[in-house]
Structure 1
Amino acid sequence: MRAGIIIIIIFLTLCLISGQVLCFKVIGCSGGSVMFKCMYKSDEQHNSTPLNQREFYDQLKGKYFYISKSVFIKCVISTETQRRWVYNERFALYDDENSRFFTVFIRNLNREDAGKYICGNNQKWSHDVELEVNNNSSSCGTSVIRSAYIGQTITFSCEYEHGFKTHTKVLYRVNGDPVLVLNSSQSSQSSEEKFILSDSQKDHFTVTIRDISAAERGVYLCGVERDGADKPPSEKITHITFIKEIELKVLRQITSVQVEAYISKSVFIKCKFPEEFKENKKFIQKDSSKEISVDEQNQWIPHGKVHMFDDTSAGVLKVFISDLTAADEATYRCGMNTADDHLFMKIRLKINQGDNFRESSESVAVIGESVKLSCNSPEKQQLIKHICKENKKKICQSISSSEKQRFEFSDSTAGVYTASISNVSPRDAGVYWCGAETRHEHLTSVSLTNKHQLTLTMPPVIGREGDSVEIKCPYDEKHTEEACLRSGKCLSKEVKYLCKGKCFTKDAQNIIRSDEDHVIKPRISVKDDTELNLFTVNMTELRAEDAGKYWCAVRDVFNLPLELMIIMKDAVIHEASVGGSASISCKHIRNQTQKLFCRGDQPNICIRDGARVSSNKRINGRFSLTEETSAGVFTVKISDLREEDAGKYWCAEESSGSFIFTEVQLHVTREMISDTKRETSQETEKPEITSSGTETVQETEKPDSFCQRL
C-alpha cells in the first residue's frame, strides 16, 4: 500500500520536470468517446524513471494502459501485438511501432472514468494521463440510429459547442476497429466522393454519404481534434473528443412494387419476409422520414391513419392505410431489422384521383338468410376478389377472398362482381370493403374500392290477434354470465332487453328485461337460455297496437331489430268469375298510414315481393285502390279476372315500419256469378301458424253451384 502512494507522488513530480512532456490532459464527453496517442520515449527518458517504478513496470509485457486511483494501480488493457486492435470491454488499444506511438480508444464515457491513468512500455517509458469527463453541452454524448436503403444518399449533422468552431472536425467509423473516414482540414467536396464533410463553423458540421452500399453499415463517431485545454487548439494535438455516435443501418431491397389505390378509399398491404426472420422486428417508412417500428407483435398498432400488424406466425407485416389522400402518394419501405443486415420492400404507392366506384352503399340482411354486395374491380384481369370487414378501430383486418369458402364471388358484368354472404349471423353486421388483389412474390396488396354498411335484422315475427308469439333474440357468447365472470369486466349478470324502438334511445319503450318477473307484466314472460345464448320473450293476447319494430339489446353493444307483424282475427273471402271484376274492401285501424294490397303466402313475402297497389301507387294494370278514410276502409278493384288471379292476398296498413294485415282469399271460378264476399271469423277460418312462422289455412267449404249459394 505504501509503495502505491510513493509511485503516485513520483508521477506528479515528473509532470513538473521542465522540458519533458511526461504527462498530458484528455477531455471527454459523458456518453461520448475519446481517442488519444501515447508517444514513445527515448531510452534516456526511461532511465530517468525512478528505480522502484521501473521495477514495477519491468514485470509487465508490451504496451499498457493503467488506471491510477488513490493507492492502487489497476490494469485496464495491455498488448504485445503490433498493428492490431485489442479490446477489453469499452477500452481498445492499437500499437503501431512504425509510427512511434500507440492509440487508446475509450467508448461510452461516464463520470466514474475521470481520473489519473498511466500509459507506457514496460521496458523504457511511461506517461501520466489525466482524463476529465464533463457534460456541459446538450449535444454531449448524443447517440442516434439512422437507416438508409441501398443506393440512397443520406446526410446527418454533428453538433458541437461554439468554442470548437475553428477546431478540425473528424468522422471516425467503428466497424470492428475505429478508422478515420473524414478530416475537415483535408476533405474536399468532389461530386465523385463517397463521403463529404461540410463544416458551417457555427454549431454543427454535416456528413453526406452517397450511393450507400452494404459496406457502409456500422457506427460512426463525430468529433473534434483538441489539446488539453478548452481554447482553440495549438499545433500539438493530443486527443480527439467524440461528441456524437450515429449507428447507420443499411437496408437491402428484396423487391420493388407499384401499388395502385384510390383517393378517399383504403389499401391493404402484406409484406412477406423469409421464414428465418419471421419473428424479427418490423417497420414501415415513408419516403426518407423516420422509421415507424412495430413494437408489439400479433396485434394492430396505430400510427395515425397507418395501422400495422406483425404476424409472427406467418412472417408477414400487414399494413392498412385508410382515407387515402393525394399526400399519401409516396415511396414506402416495408422492412425488417436483423443482426447484420436489414431487409426491405420498396412500395411505390400511386393514388388515382378519380374512380367510377360508389362512395358507399347500405344493405339490410335478415339473420339466417343471405345477402349480396356489389363490388367494382379496378382491373378486369384480376382473378382473386376480396371482401373485408372493419373492426372497431376502422381497420379492415379480416380479409376473405374467392379462395376461401366464407364468401361466394361471382362476376356479373365487366369490372363488377358480387360477394354473397350466406347464413348471415349477428357478427356479420358492420362496415365492409371490397376490392381486388395484386400479388407479387414477396408482397400482396388489395386496393379496397367499395364501402358497404351492412345492417342486420331478425326474421319477421308473425302473430295473430288474440294469440301469442315468441320473439327470439340470439346474443354473442361474450355476453353470457360465464364469459362475464371469466373476463372480470362486469360486476353482475348481463341484462338483456326487448324494446319497442331502438333500446337506450329517448323514444324507445322498454317491453321487458331478462331480470324482470312476468308478474309485473302479465302478458309478457322472458327466458334467458345461456347455453344456447338465446333470450326469448313470450307475448300473449296480441293486439293490433303490438305491431311494430322491436330491438333486442345487451347494454348498448348489441342492438338487433326485428319486425312484429300482426294479422287481424277476421279474414276476408271473396269470390268472382273469370272475366268479371272483384272489389275487395279492407278495413284499417289507424289513420295516416300507408295502405297496401299485395299477394303472397306469408305477409313478409308479400311485402318483400312488392305491393300490387298502394297509397303511393293507386293504379297498377288491372289493379286499382281507392280510400274512404271516414269509413275506415280502402277498396281494391281487380278487373278482367283470370283464373291465375285466385289465391291469397293481404290488405295491409303500415306506419313507421309497423304492419297490420288482414288476410284475403280470392276464389275465381269459370261460372258467371255476381261479385260477392264473405268475412269469416278467426275461429272458423284462422290459418294455423307453425313454429317456423309459416301458416296453414283450413279448407273452406265451397258451394256446389251458384243456386245452392242462394
Structure 2
Amino acid sequence: MRAAIIIIIIIIIIIITLCLISGQVLCFSVFGCTGGSVMFKCMYKSNDQHKEKYFCRNTDCTTGISTETQRQWVYNGRFNLYDDENSRFFTVFIRNLSREDDGEYTCGNKQKWSHDVTLVVNRNSSSCGTSVIRSARIGQTITFHCKYDHKFKTHTKVFYRLNVGPVHVLNSSQSSQSSEGKFILSDSQKDHFNVTIRDISTADSGVYLCGVERHESDDQPSETSITHITFIKEIHLNVQSQISSVQVEAYISKSVFIKCKFPQRFKGNKKFIQKDSSQKIPVDEQNQWVRHDKVHMYDDTSGGLLKVFISDLITADEATYRCGVNINNDEDLFTEIKLTVRQVDHFPASSKSAAVIGESVKLTCNYPEKHNETIKHICKENNEKICQNISSSEKKRFEFSDSTAGVFTVIISNVSWRDAGVYWCGAETKHKHVTSVSLTNKHELTLTLPPVVGREGDSAEIKCPYDAKYSKELKHLCKGKCFTPDAQNIIQSNGDYFISPTILIKDNTELNLFTVIMTELRAEDAGKYWCAVKGAFNLPIELMIVMKDVITHEASVGGSASISCKYIRNQNQGFFCRGDQPNICVRDGVRVSSNKRTNNVFSLTDETSAGVFTVNISNLRAEDSGKYWCAEENSGSFILTEVHLHVNGEMTSSDTKRETTQKTETSGSFCQKSLSVR
C-alpha cells in the first residue's frame, strides 16, 4: 500500500516537473461553453518574438491557426490569433464552441518550444453560449445583461468588443465605467452583471462579448494564476442611423407625395423604403420611377433625394415608414415618417375641367386650414399614374392664389396639348429632411383645339399639333373620335381620303403640325372633328359653318324686334346670341335657346312644326345695336347665320301707329323681323 502511494507521488512529481521548466508553464487547461467563446494566452521567450506562432490540434495544423504576422488579428474560420511581441505572448480566440472542440491542443513555435493545452467544453451550464441581436438608434442609451454561474460571483468580469480589443475590464468588487463615461459596468455579484452604453453612435455598431476571467479551478484566480476568459454571451449591436422623425397627415382615397433628403456624399448610394418592421423595399433603379405594389419610388441622384408617391390611400397604409439610404453593408441612414391616414368628407372626390389650347383654365383645390401659410402645389400624373411635383414657384404658367379659407386656385395659362391629363393639388408640410404634400383634389383636364369657323362655299384650315415623337407616324383627321366605331375618317397624312377630293393636307414635321384644308364648305361639314395619332393622341376641334348670306335689321329705340330663324337640320336645338365672332357668341354671348327661353329682354318661341324658332327683343336701346347670330346646334355641331341689328334714335309721336315689316330669305336660313312702333 505504501509502495502504491509512493508511485502516485512520483508520477505527480514527474508531471509537475514536465509542466514546469525554468519557471515556465508548459501545459494548462481552458474551459468554455457550447455556443460560447474562449480566449487565452500562450507565453514565449523574448528571443522567439519574430518566429512563426501556431495553435493546432494535430501536427499538420489542419484544425487550428498559425501566423508570422504581429500586432494584427489573423483569422481561420472560428480560430483567431493575435501576436503581440511586446507582451511576450500571443492570444488565441475561439468562437462558437461545440462539443467536438473538446480535446488536446498545442500552442508554440515550430522551432524551439510548445505548450500543451487541454480545451474543456462544457454543455451543462445554464449560462453557456447565449447570443442576442440588439438594435439602437443614434443618441440612445442601451443596457444589456450578462448571466453567469453563481460560483463565479467573485471573479473578474470582462466586456470585450470583437476585433477591436478590450473595451473595459470590471473588477468584481465594484461598479465602474470607462474613462469617458460611455461604458458603464455593474455587477450584481449574484448571477449577472450589466453593461450600459451611453450616447450611441454609428461607430458603436459591432459584436460584443461578455465573460468571466477564470483558471483551471472554480476558485477566484490569484495574481500568479494562468488565466483565460470564458465568454458566456455574444451581443450583436446594430446602430440605426436615424436622421429625424416626422409626422405626415394624408387622407383616405387620396394620395401623398414625400421627398426625403440625404447628405450629398450619399447621393449615389442605394435608397430604400421600409414599412414598420417589414423587409426593406430597395430602389433598384436610379433616376426613374420604380413601383412596389402601390408605393412608387424615385432615386434622384442629382439632388440626393428619394421621392415617394403613395396613391389611393386606405386605413391599412397608416404606418411608420423609414425613408433611408444604405451607407455601407451594415449601416443605413434614414428618416422615420409616421403616416396617419384620416377620413375627410369636405374634399371633393374628383372633378372634370375642359380647356381650349392656347387659353387658360382655373382649377380649385382644398386644403386643411392649418396649412394656410404653407406653399401650395399641383402635380400631374404620368403614364404610370405617378404624380410628379410641380412647384408653385413656376409663376410663368401656374398662378396660385388663396380664394377663401381652406381653398386655393391654380390658373394654368397658355394651355398646350401636353397639359391634358389628371392633376392633384394640395398643401406642403416641410421639415429639415422631409417635404410632404398631402394631395386632396383630383382634376381630370381635357383639352380641345380652338374652334375653326368657315363660311359656306369657302375653305377652312384645321391645324393638328402633335408630339415630335410621332413625326413619322400616320396622322388622322376624323369626324367623331378616331379609332371608335362611330368615327368617320376624313383623311390621313399619307393622302388617302374618304369623303371629298376637295381636301388638301400638309404634314410639317419640323413644326410638328398636320394641317387639313377643307374647301367648298357646306352646312353638313359642321361638326366635331378629331386630330389623332395612333390611340395615344386624340384632340377634338369644332368646325362651325357660317351660312353665306348676312341678314340686316333695323329698329328704333324703345321698340321691339321679332326674328325668326329656320332650322337647316331637323331635331336640333336653336339659340340666339350676340358676339363679334361665332365662337365668342357660342361661348360667352348673351343668349336664349330652346332650353333657356327667356333672358332679360330676350325671349324665344320654338315652333317645331314650322321648322323655325322665333326670338323677340323688347325695349330696344341704342346700345343693342350689333352683331347677333341665329344658330342651331346638334351634338356640338354649330351652323350659324349672321344677323346685324341697327337700333335708330328715339321714336316720335307720329311713329306710334306705324308698323314696318321686312323679310329676308337666304339660301341657308329664313329670318323675319317685325318692328312695332308705339
TM-score, normalisation: structure 2 = 0.71
* Structure 1 residues 332-481: aligned runs within 5 Å: 332-339=321-328, 342-378=332-368, 379=370, 381-402=372-393, 404-481=395-472
- Fraction of identical pairs, as percent: 62
* Structure 1 residues 151-190: aligned runs within 5 Å: 174=162, 176=164
1:271 aligned to which of 242, 260, 275: 260
Q: Secondary structure at the match of 1:338?
A: strand
Number of equivalenced pairs:
564
Separation in 2, partners of 1:42, 1:99: 6
Separation in 1, partners of 2:364, 2:343: 22
8 Å contact 2:55–2:92 — kept in the other structure?
no
Q: Secondary structure at the match of 2:428?
A: strand
Separation in 2, partners of 1:552, 1:69: 89
Q: Secondary structure at the match of 2:548?
A: coil
8 Å contact 1:553–1:559 — kept in the other structure?
yes
Amino acid at match of 2:200: S
* Structure 1 residues 74-473: aligned runs within 5 Å: 77-78=67-68, 86-87=73-74, 92-94=80-82, 102-104=91-93, 120-122=108-110, 123-125=112-114, 149-150=137-138, 174=162, 176=164, 213-214=200-201, 218-220=205-207, 248-253=238-243, 255-339=244-328, 342-378=332-368, 379=370, 381-402=372-393, 404-473=395-464
2:10 corresponds in structure 1 to none
1:54 corresponds in structure 2 to none
Separation in 1, partners of 2:487, 2:425: 35
Identify the range of structure 1 (610-619 vs 495-504) with the bigger mean alpha-carbon deviation.
Answer: 610-619
2:526 corresponds in structure 1 to 547
CA change 1:587–1:175 in 2 (3 A) is farther
Amino acid at match of 1:258: Q
Separation in 1, partners of 2:358, 2:262: 40
CA change 1:175–1:267 in 2 (3 A) is farther
8 Å contact 2:259–2:436 — kept in the other structure?
yes
1:134 corresponds in structure 2 to none
Deviations 1:457-484 (A, max 9, x none): 0000111111111100000111123xxx
Deviations 1:53-81 (A, max 9, x none): xxxxx998252257999999998534566
1:612 aligned to which of 591, 596, 615: 591
1:662 corresponds in structure 2 to 641
Amino acid at match of 1:527: K
Deviations 1:96-119 (A, max 9, x none): 999999535589xxxxxxxxx985
Q: CA deviation at 1:336?
A: 2.2
CA change 1:580–1:337 in 2 (3 A) is same
8 Å contact 1:382–1:438 — kept in the other structure?
no
2:578 aligned to which of 599, 603, 609: 599
CA change 1:514–1:34 in 2 (3 A) is farther
CA change 1:544–1:645 in 2 (3 A) is same
Separation in 1, partners of 2:267, 2:592: 64
Q: CA deviation at 1:352?
A: 2.6
Q: CA deviation at 1:288?
A: 2.5
Q: List runs of 5+ in structure 2 lacking aligned partners.
A: 1-25, 97-104, 119-131, 144-158, 170-182, 186-194, 210-227, 669-675
Q: CA deviation at 1:675?
A: 4.3
Q: List runs of 5+ in structure 1 lacking aligned partners.
A: 1-19, 44-57, 108-116, 130-143, 156-170, 182-192, 196-207, 223-237, 482-493, 684-705
8 Å contact 2:353–2:445 — kept in the other structure?
yes
Separation in 1, partners of 2:208, 2:519: 85
Find out whether 1:676 has 2:666 as its counterpart: no
Amino acid at match of 1:93: L
CA change 1:316–1:409 in 2 (3 A) is same
Amino acid at match of 1:124: W
* Structure 1 residues 485-496: aligned runs within 5 Å: 494-496=473-475
Q: Secondary structure at the match of 2:584?
A: helix
Separation in 1, partners of 2:647, 2:306: 69
* Structure 1 residues 454-533: aligned runs within 5 Å: 454-481=445-472, 494-517=473-496, 521-533=500-512
Separation in 2, partners of 1:308, 1:323: 15
Amino acid at match of 1:435: G
Q: CA deviation at 1:495?
A: 0.4
CA change 1:625–1:317 in 2 (3 A) is same
Q: CA deviation at 1:120?
A: 4.0
Find out whether 1:624 has 2:603 as its counterpart: yes
Separation in 1, partners of 2:301, 2:595: 59
Deviations 1:196-216 (A, max 9, x none): xxxxxxxxxxxx999993368
Separation in 1, partners of 2:496, 2:73: 85
Q: CA deviation at 1:217?
A: 5.1
8 Å contact 2:64–2:76 — kept in the other structure?
no
TM-score, normalisation: structure 1 = 0.68
Deviations 1:243-286 (A, max 9, x none): x9978352233x33222222221111222222333223222222
Higher strand share: 2
CA change 1:345–1:22 in 2 (3 A) is closer
Separation in 1, partners of 2:520, 2:587: 27
CA change 1:659–1:176 in 2 (3 A) is farther
Q: CA deviation at 1:371?
A: 0.7
Separation in 1, partners of 2:610, 2:581: 27
CA change 1:150–1:380 in 2 (3 A) is closer
2:558 aligned to which of 579, 585, 596: 579
2:217 corresponds in structure 1 to none
1:231 corresponds in structure 2 to none
Separation in 1, partners of 2:391, 2:248: 20
Q: Secondary structure at the match of 1:606?
A: helix
Separation in 2, partners of 1:542, 1:450: 44
Q: CA deviation at 1:430?
A: 0.5
Deviations 1:332-376 (A, max 9, x none): 222222248643222222223224221111110100111111112
Amino acid at match of 2:325: M
8 Å contact 1:214–1:252 — kept in the other structure?
no
CA change 1:75–1:42 in 2 (3 A) is closer
Separation in 2, partners of 1:74, 1:407: 73
CA change 1:656–1:682 in 2 (3 A) is closer
8 Å contact 1:217–1:250 — kept in the other structure?
no
Separation in 2, partners of 1:273, 1:383: 23
Separation in 2, partners of 1:437, 1:403: 15
